[in-house]
Amino acid sequence: MAATSSFLHLQFSPNSASATPASSSASQTFSVAVGPVVLFSVLDHFLRRPDQQTKVIGALLGVRSEDGSEVEVRNCFPLSHTETNDQIVVDADYLNQMYSLHQRVNSKETIVGWYATGTEIQPSSVWVHEFFANETAPFQPVHLLVDTSLSNDKMASRAFVSSSVGVPGSEHPGSMFLQIPCDVKYFDAERSGLDVIALAKDTPDKSANILSDMDNLERSIVQVQEMLENVSAYVDAVLSKKEQPNNAIGRFLMDTVSSIPRIDAGEFEKMFNTHLQDLLMVVYLANLTRSQLAIAERLHKMV
Amino acid sequence: MATKLNAASALRKDPIESINLEGLDPALLATKPLHEVQLDALVVLKIVKHCRDYQPTTATGQLLGIDVAGSLEVTNCFPFTSKSHDDQDEGADEMDGAEYQLQMLRCLRKLNFDANTVGWYQSTYLGSFWNQSLIETQYNYQKTFAQSVVIVYDPTRTTQGNLCLRALRLSDTFMELYQNRKFTMESLIQHKLTPTSIFQSLPVKIRNSHLLSALLHELDENTSHSPSLRDSISQPASTFTPRIAADISPLSTNFDNLELGAEAYLERHLEYLGETVEEHGQEQWRWQGWQRSLHKEQQRLQQTVSKRRGENATRASQGLPPVYGDEDLQVSSPALTKLLASEPSRLETLIITNQIDTYCKQINQFAGPAMSKMFVAKSVRQDAQAASS
């Protein structure tokens, strides 16, 4: 089929994409934000692929902004497919079933595109993309490509949209995949979760226990201290003329320093003490309640 | 919930392709008491996402995985459908819920995901998760799948900067008691059941796959060399804007837990604590009322019996046969047995006690770091003053 030869993959590095005026129109009108849970699911799916299979595909769920130019990918589910030479068969029944199941839990999230793993867009991607275009009509689907083979030592996750190219009116218009900006977006609650997950990445057995509030606080304070040391080392270096001063950094530092509110010492002392009293009072009450309960429990036994 | 469970167990009975277990260490296959719960990073994020979508209502879902030598590995999960959408046809919804679960499990298994139920998860608000329905559901789970746990996730505490997940299991003694639904004082003492021994809390561990660690390292790298940061530093000072794009990366350091003011959190805690203590008082009062009436009844019976004994004695001294037989001298009556049987269930008290305990512990857990934070702020101030003077 001629379509395989009329497939074009334009690739810009993310920096040049925003710099060249020709491509900026495409990148500005369309952007994708991916939730961390999506990337995690893709990797999990990839790990569970059948023996002979080299890549996995799945559907992306999410919401679009009203004009359809911003896509927020919030969820995804895996799909099974079989691939022979240039032919790719996606299990459409499975897609429909899974989609309806997901709809029941969260009806706001609709299919916005599909994901695949691999280093490059393959000819067969054109077909899958067209298939998903039917699902996401009237909007165009988004394609998320996650490089699980870690080529160039990078696990790049890139997003694409396709637009048709070729002679107008011809029977098989080709497709052109355009890379669009793609960030990882997360929420406050997810961040705390990610923090703990990120802790596990440096341990040899890739696991971490959940920290107590106190340990967590200690970790944060140590981090702040490190940052302060970093900054003061830099400032010292600039002062002793070892390092080029950077005005922007200087402004940032000044801004940060001036953002600290000025509180009168007596006022501060007063605030501190009342606060401390409140806290101690509450703790005392809590402990009192607990001991009362324990006593009540014991007394009951005796009755 | 019961129907859902049935669905899950029905699926389990489906013919499973015979798995080759040869060459596996038999120790791994043995069922041992659980000592820890190991969550995949994916599961943590899925739970967080689901619960956030559904705030402020509670969200529940199923955990999938397997237990290996005492450690429960949870590798996947999926949310349950919410009931709040169509309350009018509760029955139909329940049916659909079971059907939904079944389909979901089948779908997941088709793609090599673990389709073995190991428990469920629930979101909670400030740790107020102790109630009858939690216990009922967990009981049913543990009845069907002995090694199942419930993961309780608290979104409000998590937004303060520390992930809050708890893994709980009902203790064996409680399971036994709950089966008979007999929660009298006597049976509690007999089984040595105290409020703290209803549940068994398991340590939670989070595990990443190697591929995921690679991704995390990559994201981390993006943080330290983010293009937006480089841009704002390299621009001339005249275009200075005192803001760095906040969305640098998910792994930029999180300092939410250094927030000083948290009165609202404590206030709400105290409010809840007050309410629960009141409930506890009512429960106590009910039980005492019952005990008083029991006491009265017993005394009344005792009096009649001693009166009859006295009459018997006087008649015996006069050489006459006793009026009352042995039956009449028993300290029992239908009213008393009825009263004994109607002892108010102590279950509610047990639950409330646990709830109060949870609140108090949370306050303590919160107050410790809060106080340290205050002293940190104070010493920072003093240093600053010393430096400036």
pLDDT in tens, B140-153: 898 888 888 999 99
Contact status of A63 with chain B (Cβ, < 8 Å): no
> pLDDT: is B364 or B83 the higher one?
B364
> Bridge partners of A32?
A71, A182
- Searching chain A, which residue's CA lies closest to the CA of residue B266? A282
Structure tokens at A183: 């960030």
CB B9: neighbour CB atoms within 10 A?
Answer: 13
pLDDT at A8: 57
Tell me the residues of chain B between 277 and 316 that have a Cβ less than 8 Å away from chain A. Answer: 277, 280, 284, 291
> pLDDT 10s per residue in chain A (303 long)?
333 445 555 554 444 333 333 333 444 467 888 888 888 888 888 888 887 788 888 899 988 887 777 888 888 888 888 877 767 788 888 888 888 888 888 888 888 888 988 888 887 888 888 888 888 777 888 888 888 877 777 777 788 888 777 666 666 667 778 888 777 777 767 777 777 787 777 777 777 777 778 888 888 888 888 988 998 999 999 999 888 888 778 888 888 888 777 778 888 889 889 989 988 998 998 999 889 888 887 887 776
- Searching chain A, which residue's CA lies closest to the CA of residue B277? A289
- Inspect the interface and report whether the beta carbons of B158 and A193 lie closer than 8 Å: yes
pLDDT at A19: 37
For chain B, the distance separating the N- and C-terminal CA atoms, rounded to the nearest angstrom, is 67
- Inspect the interface and report whether the beta carbons of A98 and B368 lie closer than 8 Å: no
Residue with tokens 């001063």: A245
pLDDT at B128: 82
- Inspect the interface and report whether the beta carbons of A217 and B42 lie closer than 8 Å: no
- How far is it, in rounded angstroms, from Cα B42 to Cα B26? 29
Å between A192 CA and nearest CA of chain B: 5
Pairing between strand A81-84 and A57-64? unpaired
Q: pLDDT exceeding 70 applies to what percent of chain B? A: 77
Identify the CA nearest to A105 among candidates A74, A68, A144, A72. Answer: A74
Identify the CA nearest to B269 among candidates B134, B360, B380. Answer: B360
- Searching chain B, which residue's CA lies closest to the CA of residue A221? B258
Comparing CB atoms, the residue among B82, B161, B277 nearest residue A289 is: B277
Å between B135 CA and nearest CA of chain A: 21
Å between A80 CA and nearest CA of chain B: 7
Pairing between strand A207-209 and B204-207? antiparallel
Å between A7 CA and nearest CA of chain B: 30
Q: pLDDT exceeding 90 applies to what percent of chain B? A: 3
> Bridge partners of A82?
A89
> pLDDT: is B12 or A286 the higher one?
A286
Mean pLDDT of chain B: 78
| Residue B130 contacts residue B279 (beta carbons within 8 Å) | no
pLDDT at B235: 62
**Which tens digit of pLDDT belongs to each residue from B176-200?**
888 877 777 777 777 777 777 888 8
- Inspect the interface and report whether the beta carbons of B369 and A208 lie closer than 8 Å: no
**Which tens digit of pLDDT belongs to each residue from B222-233?**
665 555 566 666
> Bridge partners of B64?
B76, B117
Contact status of A296 with chain B (Cβ, < 8 Å): yes
pLDDT at A284: 92
| Residue B360 contacts residue A287 (beta carbons within 8 Å) | yes
pLDDT at B16: 42
- How far is it, in rounded angstroms, from Cα B255 to Cα B5? 41
- How far is it, in rounded angstroms, from Cα B105 to Cα B118? 13
User: In the 8-state DSSP scheme, what is residue B19?
Assistant: P
Rounded to two decimals, what is the model's pTM? Answer: 0.80
- Searching chain B, which residue's CA lies closest to the CA of residue A247? B237
pLDDT at A69: 76
Partners of A278 on chain B (C-beta within 8 Å) are: 263, 266
**Which tens digit of pLDDT belongs to each residue from B255-285?**
667 777 777 888 888 899 899 999 988 988 9
Contact status of B3 with chain A (Cβ, < 8 Å): no
pLDDT band per the 50, 70, 90 thresholds, residue B26? low
pLDDT at A104: 83
Partners of A263 on chain B (C-beta within 8 Å) are: 381
Contact status of A210 with chain B (Cβ, < 8 Å): yes
Partners of B227 on chain A (C-beta within 8 Å) are: 14-15
Contact status of B26 with chain A (Cβ, < 8 Å): no
Q: Which residues of B157-185 are buried (b: 16+ CB within 10 A; e: fewer)?
A: bbbbbbbbbbbbbbeeebbebbeeebbeb
Structure tokens at A173: 């218009």
- Inspect the interface and report whether the beta carbons of A216 and B161 lie closer than 8 Å: yes
Contact status of A228 with chain B (Cβ, < 8 Å): no
Chain A interface test: which of B66, B105, B111, B256 (most A C-beta within 10 Å)? B111
- C-alpha angle with apex B85: B83 to B88, nearest 5 degrees? 85
Partners of B185 on chain A (C-beta within 8 Å) are: 300, 303
Is pLDDT above 50 for B343?
yes
- How far is it, in rounded angstroms, from Cα A96 to Cα A91? 9
- Inspect the interface and report whether the beta carbons of A40 and B212 lie closer than 8 Å: yes
Q: If you average pLDDT over residues B22-41, what whole number do you get?
A: 74
Calculate the alpha carbon distances from A266 to A263, A269, A271, B43, B376 in Å: 8, 5, 9, 50, 17
- Inspect the interface and report whether the beta carbons of B242 and A255 lie closer than 8 Å: yes
Tell me the residues of chain A between 121 and 150 that have a Cβ less than 8 Å away from chain B. Answer: 148, 150
Comparing CB atoms, the residue among B204, B250, B291 nearest residue A210 is: B204
- How far is it, in rounded angstroms, from Cα A124 to Cα A6? 12
Contact status of A298 with chain B (Cβ, < 8 Å): no
